[in-house]
Amino acid sequence: MERNKCIFLDRDGTINVYKGLISKPDDIELIDGAAEAIKLVNKSEYLCIVISNQPGVAKNLYSLEEAGQINEKLMKLLNEKGAYLDDIFICPHHPDKGYPEENSEFKIKCDCRKPDIGMIEMAQDKYNIDLSKSYIIGDSTVDIQTGINCNIKTVLVKTGLAGSDGTYRVCPDYVANNLYEAVNLILRGELNGFIKAE
Ligand SMILES: [Mg+2]
Ligand SMILES: [Zn+2]
């Protein structure tokens, strides 16, 4: 059986506007062109799967249930524009102690928090994904490091953090102004159109 190709997407700052901590459904506001970009992926041969760190659950800033409601709001806004996500994986964990009211159930060192690749591996198993033909698009160096850790092609978008977090010293394979541009260039195979990262 032929394996699936996938475009993995970060959520905050990549699909929806970066606002620091997103803690409620009303915080979700789509970046211009994001729904149109995902719609193009939906019409292509790629799956479209979100992988998102949500340490606010471990810090007890919102519950796992509320994290689900936030994702439902994202899905609803996308659906209204004719786009959908094939799946969303979140990591609700956080390794560091010391937050007030923290939820110790999730205060662990897990293997799904990006840049670890647990969420990618879960998706790979569930959807029979060929990572060698897949991409990850995100706005932080953590997303790029995640792609490097599982050897998939990486695209940094200049929305959200635009790589300014500096958490990892990494070089993305490509840089695009936003999700719409990143998806278009992947789907058209026009890698010349990318600004190749230094
Ligand atoms: Mg992000
Ligand atoms: Zn985790």
Considering every ligand atom, which ligand is closest to the CA of 14?
1
Q: How far apart are CA 178 and CA 142, in angstroms?
A: 17
Q: Where are the domains of the chain?
A: 5-192
CB environment 118-135: b (16+ within 10 A), e (fewer)? bbbbebbeeeebebeebb
Q: Which of 134, 141, 133 is nearest to 157 (CA)?
A: 141
* 10 included as an active-site residue: yes
Per-residue pLDDT tens digits of the chain, which is 198 residues long: 789 999 999 999 999 999 999 999 999 999 999 999 999 999 999 999 999 999 999 988 999 999 999 999 999 999 999 999 999 999 999 988 766 666 778 888 999 999 999 999 999 999 999 999 999 999 999 999 999 999 999 999 999 999 999 999 999 999 999 999 999 989 987 554 444 544
Spacing, Cα 137 to ligand 1 middle (Å): 9
pTM over 0.85: yes
* 12 included as an active-site residue: yes
Report yes or no: 115 and 142 within 8 Å, Cβ to Cβ: yes
Q: Which CATH class is domain 5-192?
A: alpha beta
> Is 93 annotated among the ligand-binding residues?
yes
Instruction: Kindly report the length of the chain.
Output: 198
Spacing, Cα 115 to ligand 1 middle (Å): 12
